[in-house]
Each structure stands twice: as C-alpha cells, then as structure tokens.
Amino acid sequence: MSWFRRRPRSAGPSGRRVEQADLEHLTQFIQSRRGVEGFIEPQTTVTETTLLLVAHDGEWTRRRIESPEIARRFAHQLSLPIYDVKLMGYPQRMRDYNERRRRRPA
C-alpha cells in the first residue's frame, strides 16, 4: 500500500474536476445573500485551489475549484466581483463574522 499516491493530472491543474454540486452550492449562496464577493485562494501543499464567497455581513463559504481561471469564469458569468486573496487579503467583515460566532454562547 502506498501512502503517497500521485493523482492523475488529466483532471486539471489541481487534480480535481469541478463538481456540479460545488457550483450549485456556490450559486445558491450568491443568490440567497446580498453583497457577495469572491476570493480565489491559491493551491498550497495542503489544499487545492478554492473559491471563497463572502456576503455583506461576513458570512462565508468555500469550495474547491479546478483552477483560478475556472473561478474567474464562474464569477464573471454571475456578475460577481472576484479578487485574488494573495493580493487583497481576507475582508475584515469575514474576520468579524468569525469572531461573533466564536463569542456566541453554545
């Protein structure tokens, strides 16, 4: 048994195809909230490329996506502002939202 099995590269740069369920989740998030912006999170040694969506109140969701180009194309089709997290950083409203959730009584 091999612990380090290589993924097939035919699926794209991240080794993973875009799944319809992921795109439907992202689309539903965009349509059900206001002020949503997209942030492309780059592939790292631990995670694949992801598309992070942040609503006006800081609520957020993320899904893996095949590549930054696919993320940009998806965002443009939905007229969604999209940014590169390496250039812009994470929005303060997202950090504030996370802090509010941490402080909420269990």
Q: What is the pLDDT of residues 12-57, one digit of tens each?
A: 454 567 789 999 999 999 999 999 999 999 999 999 999 999 999 9
- Does 12 map to a domain? no
**Strand (E) positions, 13-98?**
37-41, 50-54, 60-64, 82-84
Domain count, the chain: 1
CA atoms of 61 and 53, how far apart (whole Å)? 5
Among all chains, which residue has been given the structure tokens 């409203």?
93
CA atoms of 52 and 69, how far apart (whole Å)? 14
**pTM to 2 decimal places:** 0.82
Do 58 and 94 touch, CB atoms closer than 8 A? yes
- Does 3 map to a domain? no
- Does 91 map to a domain? yes
- Does 26 map to a domain? yes
- Does 11 map to a domain? no
- Does 4 map to a domain? no
- Does 86 map to a domain? yes
Domain hosting 83: range is 17-103
The pLDDT tens digits of the residues spanning 55-100 come to: 999 999 999 999 999 999 999 999 999 999 999 999 999 999 999 9
- Does 89 map to a domain? yes
